[in-house]
Structure 1
């Protein structure tokens, strides 16, 4: 069922049920359908195929997405975290002559497009659909980028509909789900969880960007039973909230990075907790693989899980020793590729495409992905696998470690960032020199009280400043 038909079906069956709840208010299914229909009439009058949306509020995004879907337009998701110059460049590059927004007009005076807010319209407007091809452009989602230009990924209506319909049962998205998504709504995970929740008749609850107070406000208003987010925000939920505020959470859906054993153990203390599903994917491929994280087990070489139904993966250039190769994904969820104005063509092998992620095939349906931050590094001509270094830290009960190659100085250095209380430097040096060759030993170990967080909610150590409040201690090792 397409996105508009699903929305109107729920609006007819459950008109007064809350579809979207944000810090600014809420919309029932009937109100959402009415406002999206009103917006679609406006969008159909525009001669251009693409229309942009620049929004922090989930209500704006919900109306904008379904209005564009009904009108047959391509919705271009613009990132509120982009610097002004990058925003202007992307608007021009992606040919967004019109942009919907919940920003004030004064903030967007210089933008090279016609900017308008979404009016409330008539909640009881007749729902008139039109037959639209499923292989049309539905969305353009941009990869992260603050200084360099992001890649714009083109998704068809069919690819997104199929991913939602296949993934929803595994990811616990049902009519009974009240989903808290406390991260940015303009990034892949937040946007996907919004559309998924509405398509399956649930209630979506979101602040549009991470804020402790915003999350507390929303959890005080609704008894959310499902959370969709990234590990750094899960970590903040536990550190900033009382356990009672999270007491109704039954299902946790996590993506973007591996969950630490500490966070998994904290999840299991929740009174209503049933299960956690960790998934791996990309904006180019949507869902690829998933794993049920019901134990404290953590794999040291990245993400390991089962392929989603209808997804298959094969490897190119396989290392005969490690079994690791470049993953090519064949899936009905795959994006068309990149907009040619923002990136070269995506790597292809017949119907399969690749973002050059590295993986090891375990069986036909089981696969282990080497997350990009865990991939092999080269320092002064030496190949270094972060998993080897992380394994040494684990012998000291330090399980949350990120290895980074710092190229800012004249001589590139290896730095280990550890989310851990301050440790004894001499003991750490002893263990590292005892178990690793010198070229694999970090030059410096940085103890953090929490992972620094980028706009998307993911851990972002590359932007950590020397005086960042997260830093507890720096230990020079060699």
Structure 2
């Protein structure tokens, strides 16, 4: 039986971080700037061979604020800017983003892996006023500021600070089910979630936090900003190399790791069965964490609390799951609603979210509604646990039956040896669609393929069974890092 309920998760009384801080923050850099005076000598940010204290971060933020404000006046800009950032060094990108956001500008981190055409499309979609970059750009329909030539020693002091309802961030959806969309957020949508996130994941200012992904992705950008907001120590990486990140984790006694499931899997493979007992917390999002993957992480990080949160770029936190305390839940389970979030499933099982953490809308689109959805299909069981069956945009109609590829993918990933599974639909003259399953795994053979097919036959009704299985060494990826389902569906990858 499916229960269509509305579950309200009430925010508990939130304790300040270590009894020191709490309250409402005007903009996302507000507390970070204050930390310069409160924690002047504490290590704030580590990147490559450079270490910054909180006083250093405060100084750098004011320098960038002054320099950007002076440059804007020099160029004749008087309104808040849509400010695209294309900088290689992650630490500088973060500080420039925070400085721009604190001025009331909308920061737009760009993906360094984009082609020139993809970058131009993103700038146009974002309606960027300025591109701030550290490399030569010969073509752009906006002002281009060379980051190496912006004068950080200007005597002009920026006096404007953003307000909570100002826009501060423009991001791009992954594009896994269509063209990427540009969405915008207010400061309030993030600052309101800082304390609930710290409470939910039991984070504190004493943590040493590894954020090993690109700050182009909202998961890692939020993690970085939140870490500095708490007064903890942040470790960023130039690129994701599991061996290098593990060396940092071991050498710096890192105790909190953010990642996506494939990153944690990469750590397991790179570790040579060496356990990392000092890691206290792992926080995963971006894709469903399979039980087999969770089991391997538990072995690799024996003392770590393993959290997974379900969310979306537009909706932010929706629900969270603590794997060690909720290990008996089925693969569709994504935990209980995040504090302050209300979730309901309509008659078609589309999940809708009411939350203080919602985005402000799509660029050029309609205003955000009180209840928002990204088209995920699911239900809420009688115990209040949220389940996600799949994305409406991925749904297949096979013989008149709605089939969600994600359901098959999750079952496949519970089979030993399967690292990743992607199911797509191919047109069929009789059935309408038929499902094909692409599987990636180490050392999988044709015999393994037969066993996978047998196992799926045991757990799936005939209409949901994939008609073809493909073993692949790698998947085509979108610039966001997610699998390019369109490439698989069109046959461009085979």
What's the TM-score once normalised by structure 1's chain length?
0.82
* Worse-superposed segment, 14-23 or 184-193: 14-23
Look up the match of 1:110.
Answer: 139
- Distance of 1:7 and 1:24 partners within structure 2: 22
SS in 1 for 2:93: helix
CA distance in 1, matches of 2:85, 2:272: 35
Structure 1: runs of 5+ lacking an equivalent: 319-324, 472-478
CA contact (8 A) 1:258 1:303 kept: no
Q: 1:301-334 CA distances to partner (integer Å, 9 max, x unpaired)? A: 534211111111122234xxxxxx1122111111
Aligned residue pairs total: 454
- In the alignment, is the contact (CA less than 8 A) between 2:213 and 2:240 conserved in 1? yes
1:19 paired with 2:44, answer: yes
- When residues 109 and 414 of structure 1 are mapped into structure 2, their CA distance, relative to the original with a 3 A threshold, is same
CA distance in 2, matches of 1:217, 1:437: 46
Structure 1 residue 129: deviation in Å? 6.2
Q: Structure 1 residues 302, 356: closer, same or farther in 2, change over 3 A?
A: same
Q: Distance in 1 between matches of 2:177 and 2:113?
A: 11
Matches of 1:433 and 1:8, distance apart in 2: 57
Distance 1:203-1:427 versus aligned 2 partners, 3 A rule: closer
Correspondence list, 1:217-236, <5 A: 218-219=248-249, 221-236=251-266
Alignment counterpart, residue 99 of structure 2, candidates 63, 67, 73: 67
- Given candidates 149, 153, 167, the residue that maps to 1:137 is 167
Inter-partner Cα distance in structure 2 for 1:460 and 1:297:
30
Matched-pair contact (CA < 8 Å) for 1:52–1:75 = yes
- Find the residue that maps to 1:135 and give its secondary structure: coil
Contact in 2 for aligned 1:178/1:204 (Cα 8 Å): yes
Selected match of 1:96 from 128, 135, 158: 128
Provide the rounded CA distance (Å) in 2 between the counterparts of 1:384 and 1:284: 25
Q: Distance between the aligned counterparts of 1:408 and 1:227, measured in 2?
A: 42
Structure 1 residues 457 and 427, CA gap change in structure 2 (3 angstroms): closer
1:326-384 deviations in whole A, cap 9, x for unaligned? 122111111111111xxx43773xx2222122221225853222243996422464433
Check whether the contact 2:208–2:256 (CA below 8 A) recurs between aligned residues. yes
Contact 2:41 2:54 in 1 (8 A): yes
**Relative to structure 1, is the Cα distance of residues 265 and 376 closer, same or farther in structure 2, using a 3 angstrom cutoff?**
same
SS in 2 for 1:179: strand
Query: 1:217 Cα shift?
Result: 5.1
1:18-417 superposed matches below 5 A? 18-23=43-48, 25-45=50-70, 46=72, 47=77, 48-49=79-80, 50-101=82-133, 103-105=134-136, 108-112=137-141, 113-117=143-147, 121=152, 130=160, 132-145=162-175, 149-216=179-246, 218-219=248-249, 221-244=251-274, 246-270=276-300, 273-294=303-324, 297=327, 300=330, 302-318=332-348, 325-340=349-364, 344-345=365-366, 348=369, 351-362=370-381, 365-372=384-391, 376-379=395-398, 381-386=400-405, 389=408, 402-407=421-426, 413-417=434-438
Label 1:424 to 1:66 Cα distance change in 2 as closer, same or farther (>3 A). closer
Alpha carbons 1:374, 1:387 under 8 Å: kept? no
Inter-partner Cα distance in structure 2 for 1:425 and 1:449? 14
Check conservation: 2:379, 2:386, Cα contact below 8 A: yes
- The separation in 2 between residues aligned to 1:9 and 1:452, in whole angstroms, is 44
In structure 1, C-alpha distance between the alignment counterparts of 2:455 and 2:300, rounded to whole Å: 36
1:474 corresponding residue in structure 2:
none
Preserved CA contact (<8 Å) 1:182 1:209: yes
Following superposition, the deviation at residue 56 of structure 1 comes to 4.0
Does structure 2 conserve the Cα–Cα contact (< 8 Å) formed by 1:264 and 1:295? no
Q: Supply the RMSD in Å over aligned alpha carbons.
A: 3.7
- Pick closer, same or farther for the CA change 1:450–1:203 going to 2, 3 Å: farther
Deviations 1:123-174 (A, max 9, x none): 9x99976554311111111112499642111100111111222212212332
User: Do 1:180 and 1:226's aligned partners in 2 also have CA atoms closer than 8 Å?
Assistant: yes
Aligned partners of 1:53 and 1:76 also within 8 Å: yes
The 8 Å contact of residues 391 and 404 in structure 2, kept in 1 or not, is answered as no
Contact 2:334 2:387 in 1 (8 A): yes
Q: Measure, in 2, the Cα distance between the counterparts of 1:259 and 1:395.
A: 10
